[in-house]
Amino acid sequence: MQTAGRIKPPMTADNGWWWEQAAQQVLAIQRCTSCETLRHPPRPMCNRCRSLQWDFIAASGRGTLASYTVLEHPQFPGYQYPIAIALVELEEGERITAQLVGIEPDDITFGMPLQVSFQADPDGFVLPVFEPAEEN
Ligand SMILES: [Zn+2]
């Protein structure tokens, strides 16, 4: 029997490009080409100068844990619980929410260094997740 897969994020004209980058293992951050302000999640207009012109940069994938939550319920088919969801402060300054993997919920600490990893589902869907970074 085929098990249920991950619920796919909605992909629109405004954010589909971001998922295309993720599929190539690039963690993209949208950038206004008028004032160079970074923004995430993707959206059409710069909230600083209202320009509609943008490109993006590839983030380093490094950041720190700003906040997190651990999902226990409700449990949807196709996921393994508990699921830790992190709010990551990227070193570029933007914040992103993503699943935190490779660590038990009890071991999570605020401010811990994280790095992006790209998790491919059996159906080929690629999802950026974060895991504890190697300490230097
Ligand atoms: Zn701008």
pLDDT at 125 over 70: yes
Task: Say how many C-beta atoms besides its own lie within 10 A of residue 75's C-beta.
Answer: 12
pLDDT (tens digit per residue) in 69-99: 999 999 988 888 999 999 999 999 999 999 9
Evaluate whether the domain defined by 61-136 bears CATH number 2.40.50.220.
yes
User: How many Cα atoms sit within 13 Å of 12 on the Cβ side?
Assistant: 6
Give the separation between CA 83 and CA 100, rounded to whole angstroms.
Answer: 8
What per-residue confidence (pLDDT) applies to 77?
Answer: 86
Q: Are 70 and 82 in contact (CB under 8 A)?
A: yes
Ligand 1 centre from 53 Cα, in Å?
A: 8
pLDDT at 108 over 90: yes
What per-residue confidence (pLDDT) applies to 3?
Answer: 62
- Residue for token digits 């994020």? 9
What per-residue confidence (pLDDT) applies to 9?
Answer: 87
Please, which residues have CB within 8 angstroms of residue 52's CB and are 6 or more apart in sequence? 44, 45, 46
Ligand 1 centre from 39 Cα, in Å?
A: 9
Report the length, in residues, of the chain. 136
pLDDT at 38 over 70: yes
Ligand 1 centre from 89 Cα, in Å?
A: 21
Give the separation between CA 133 and CA 8, rounded to whole angstroms.
Answer: 27
Ligand 1 centre from 43 Cα, in Å?
A: 12
Ligand 1 centre from 34 Cα, in Å?
A: 5
pLDDT at 1 over 60: no
β-pairing, 126-132 vs 95-100, is parallel
pLDDT at 2 over 80: no
Q: Are 104 and 94 in contact (CB under 8 A)?
A: no
Residue ranges of the domains in the chain?
11-58, 61-136
Ligand 1 centre from 32 Cα, in Å?
A: 5
Ligand 1 centre from 91 Cα, in Å?
A: 20
- Average pLDDT of the residues of the chain: 94
pLDDT at 135 over 90: no
Q: Are 116 and 129 in contact (CB under 8 A)?
A: yes
